Amino acid sequence: MERFEGYIFPVVCSTNFFISCFLFSKITLEQRETYMDEIFHVPQAQKYCEGKFTEWDPMITTLPGLYLLTVGVIKPVVWLMGLTGTAVCSTAMLRFINVLFNCGNLYVLYLLICKIHPKDKSRATGRRVLSALALSSFPVLYFFTFLYYTDAGSTFFTLFAYLMCLYRCHKAAALLGICAILFRQTNIIWVAFCAGTVVAQKLDEAWRVEQSKKRDEKSTSQISLQFSSVIRLVHFLLRYLTSPINIKNIILATWPYGVVALGFVAFVVLNDGIVVGDRTSHKACLNFPQLFYFFSFTLIFSLPISLCYHRLIRFLQTLRRHPFLFLLITALSLLLVWKFTFVHQYLLADNRHFPFYVWKRIVQKHELVRFLLIPAYLFAAWNFMDTLNSKSLFWIVAFCMCLVAATVPQKLLEFRYFILPYLLYRVHVPLSSLPRLMLEFALYSTVNAATIYIFIQKTFQWPDSPAVQRFMW
């Protein structure tokens, strides 16, 4: 079976690459000029290609990782092939870097799935390959494979760093985390998540040792919501985290990530903030409903592998067992939506992005809609947690803390911000059956086909601009 998978994966990778190249050529032929954020990224990369490393566009908010890597890839190829001229660092050549990143993302996702689900090795022939293929074609990520954006490279280095973390190559993971931060500063959160998984693993080991002494084999994923269980867990954490030996072991295990964190703090102090360039449109706030939007987004894209009749029944049973808890959560959600909903000016003004229409045609229909959606948000959040019930409680806490840090401070509703948390969530969901994975891949392929078709064919113009406008994520 493994030999069969070893044969089929290169075929899948090659097929995916050639299809991506075909789509890349179609999109580039239709949109030769820079589009949207490319008007900042492409000229900056071209300056780096010319060796002008001291020139910087103040409108760019991210670090120069994308441009540095682009030059590092293109320049050796140019030198080896003896190429010259402006085509070397043309918009098309720069965009093609992300097609290569797409291939890298497919491979890293496959390795992550193999590492995270080792028990399924003997009976998962084809399922791991199909799961990785589906996730590498995740619509929001896949669309930006064909434009010169930071998303593909940011995703690659972050997932690669997490893979190295799982293999306990923490120095390599930290170095890859630095590369991820150079693509997008907020990736420091996922470097912290790598450290959090190390701490969670140590807590799990200590918990199992303690429970074995009491002849209780329950893992942290089986801890109930009963008051006594919660108190027992709190007492365990207090004992563990107040032990100098345990703190020393944690520091020794996570010091590479600590070095990255200290370097990032130094950067923030020297830069007087996280954003590099234009800061007027990138101000942090406590936009708690971003969590609700992410859970809804996750529910929609994970429907083929997460939703089933038995899960709906379990949700209703949970409601009956814990009515007061759900009432409390509902009341808190109402408060968060009421007091902490922020709407970015870009969301209201830029009709080229799909979130503009989601907000306009759903949330803005009536002022009460945002409150009426809360039951759906709660189900989406419950479904999210239920699909991760095989993970340890400590891992879930680490992931949720990083999820909050990655989403809540963002004022702008932007689906691109959900790419990494979604993929990290999805690779940890137990491997589904082959029909469900095929349905997931079919859903993603259909959405990709629709968005690319709309981008190419459904152009429009603004009244005050002659430029052709296109719809996109």
DSSP sequence for 420-455: HHHHHHHHHSPP--HHHHHHHHHHHHHHHHHHHHHH
Instruction: Answer for the pair 154, 183: CB distance below 8 angstroms, yes or no.
Output: yes
> Phi-psi bin for 272: left (phi > 0), alpha (psi -120 to 50), beta?
left
State how far the Cα of 241 lies from the Cα of 245, in Å rounded to an integer.
Answer: 9
Q: Which amino acid is at 98?
A: N
Is 225's pLDDT higher than 60? no
Residue-wise pLDDT tens digits, 273-307? 898 877 777 788 999 999 999 999 999 999 999 88
pLDDT digit string, tens, across residues 161-213: 999 999 999 999 999 999 999 999 999 999 999 999 999 999 988 888 877 77
What the block records as the tokens of 454 is 């709309």
- Is the predicted pLDDT of residue 79 greater than 60, yes or no? yes
CB 147 within 8 A of CB 35: yes
Q: Residues 367, 384, 163, 16: what is their CA dihedral angle, to the nearest 10 degrees?
A: -80
pTM: 0.93
What was the pLDDT predicted at 1? Answer: 47
The 10 Å CB-count burial string (b at 16+, else e) for 246-279 is eeeebeebbebbeebbeebeebeeeeeebbbeee
The predicted structure's pLDDT at residue 209: 83
- How many other CB atoms are found less than 10 A from the CB of residue 366? 10
The proportion of the chain whose per-residue pLDDT surpasses 70, expressed as a percent, equals 93
CA distance 36 to 57: 15
CA distance 416 to 99: 17
Helix (H, G, I), strand (E, B) or coil at 472: strand
The domains of the chain are located at 283-432
pLDDT the model gives residue 2: 54
Average pLDDT along the chain: 90
84 band by pLDDT with thresholds 50, 70 and 90: low
Q: Which residues make beta-bridge pairs with 461? A: 468
Show the CA angle centred on residue 139, arms to residues 133 and 145, nearest 5°: 80
The pair of three-digit structure tokens given for residue 238, joined into one six-digit string: 């207090």
422 contact partners, CB below 8 Å, separation of at least 6 = 138, 294, 297, 298, 301
